[in-house]
Amino acid sequence: MKSMKARILITGRLPDEVVLPLENRYVMEINQEDRPMDHRILLQSISDKEGLLPMITDCIDEELLERASNLKMIANFGVGYNNIDIKAASRRGIMVSNTPGVLTDATAEIAFALILSVSRRLVEGDRMTREGRFKFWAPMFFLGHEVTGKTLGIIGMGKIGKAVARRARGFNMRVLYYNRRRIDPTEEKELTAEYADLDSLLTMSDFVSLHVSLNEDTKHMIGMKELALMKSSAYLINTSRGPVVDEKALVTALNDGKIGGAGLDVYENEPALTPGLTELDNVVLLPHIGSGTIETRARMASMAVENLVAGLDGAAPPNIVNPEVLKMR
Ligand code: DGY
């Protein structure tokens, strides 16, 4: 007899406690490896699935959606959903959700870790010490730049930008921010954050931290022109999406001493790095671990599953990003 259970595909390994309860409800296919699912296999598997829980590394484009004639719900495992062609999904009446809020603090922590790492030369210092090159203490030995009291420019004042601003208070920093829309004045006051236009922020900040989502407007938002506006001592921090920065321009700016350094968790052609990046000592490079804590990844998994179940049950997923689809039903 044909199973009445809906078929779902989860493209990455998630905690057992989140996945096992789904066994009663669905026929599940799960990529159990801790690496992205092969895209050809994804294309083959999608045709009979009603639900998809993809990772941010899966490209959910027109070609895939074309084959997904049974698909009702895509519950992305991530707050960013630039890996999904939302317009194409909406046209087909497929709901899409993300995981906002639960990774705010973890990502803000990594932004601050990068701020401290690049300015105080933590990774470089660790390398030197392990290699036995720490021979003596001296007043002028291995100096970095202080974070306390400096100016932090936050580009993108959403949840994560605000969480970074809150942490900056502990370092007595002046916080400037640039956002498409100015935030509420009471919130500006609470965060002690001053609105600035993009050019002024770039010119005045000692640290520029990026917290925008990736879309047509923000792609290469930081390029040669913007890097040239920054102080030659300033650091660029990116924990948002790689393509927000023109990475070739960044390598040139770093080589030419146009800026002081960079702390990156994300890359333009992830996981590939632009040639030249790894040769620079004033750069700290992380493997996209902004949300990479046990606690946060567990919360993201629960949230994605909650959205998936709601969508397949015919309810509105709590974190739907294309609510226009609900009106089409
Ligand atoms: C997201 O959720 O968009 C993050 O980049 C994953 O760490």
Strand-pair partners of 205:
none
Is residue 288 annotated as part of the catalytic site, yes or no? yes
Residue 241 predicted with pLDDT over 90: yes
91-119 confidence digits (pLDDT tens): 999 999 999 999 999 999 999 999 999 99
Atom of ligand 1 nearest to the CA of 107: 7
The values of phi and psi at residue 289, to 5°, are -120, 25
- State the residue for tokens 């066994």: 23
Q: How far apart are CA 241 and CA 312, in angstroms?
A: 30
- Averaged pLDDT, 214-242: 98
Atom of ligand 1 nearest to the CA of 300: 2
Atom of ligand 1 nearest to the CA of 241: 5
Q: Which of 103, 215, 270 to mutate to test the pocket of ligand 1 (most atoms within 8 A of CB)?
A: 103
Q: Ligand 1 mean position to 76 CA, how many Å?
A: 10
Round the average pLDDT of the chain to a whole number and report it. 97
Cα separations in angstroms, 14 against 17, 72, 83, 92, 175: 9, 21, 19, 28, 37
252-306 confidence digits (pLDDT tens): 999 999 999 999 999 999 999 999 999 999 999 999 999 999 999 999 999 999 9
Per-residue pLDDT band at 219 (split at 50, 70, 90) = very high
Per-residue pLDDT band at 3 (split at 50, 70, 90) = low
Edge-first strand order for the sheet with 26-30 is 26-30, 6-10, 51-53, 73-75, 95-97
What is the percent of the chain where pLDDT is above 70?
Answer: 99
291-325 confidence digits (pLDDT tens): 999 999 999 999 999 999 999 999 999 999 999 99
Q: Which of 14, 53, 55, 56 to mutate to test the pocket of ligand 1 (most atoms within 8 A of CB)?
A: 56
Q: Which of 58, 102, 104, 107 to mutate to test the pocket of ligand 1 (most atoms within 8 A of CB)?
A: 107
- Give the residues surrounding ligand 1 with Cβ less than 6 Å away: 56, 78-80, 103, 290-291
Q: pTM of the predicted model, to two decimals?
A: 0.96
Residue 49 predicted with pLDDT over 90: yes
Q: Ligand 1 mean position to 131 CA, how many Å?
A: 34
Atom of ligand 1 nearest to the CA of 77: 2
Q: How far apart are CA 103 and CA 293, in angstroms?
A: 9
- Protein residue with its CA nearest to atom 1 in ligand 1: 78
- Averaged pLDDT, 4-22: 96
122-134 confidence digits (pLDDT tens): 999 999 999 999 9
Residue 1 predicted with pLDDT over 60: no
Q: Ligand 1 mean position to 288 CA, how many Å?
A: 8
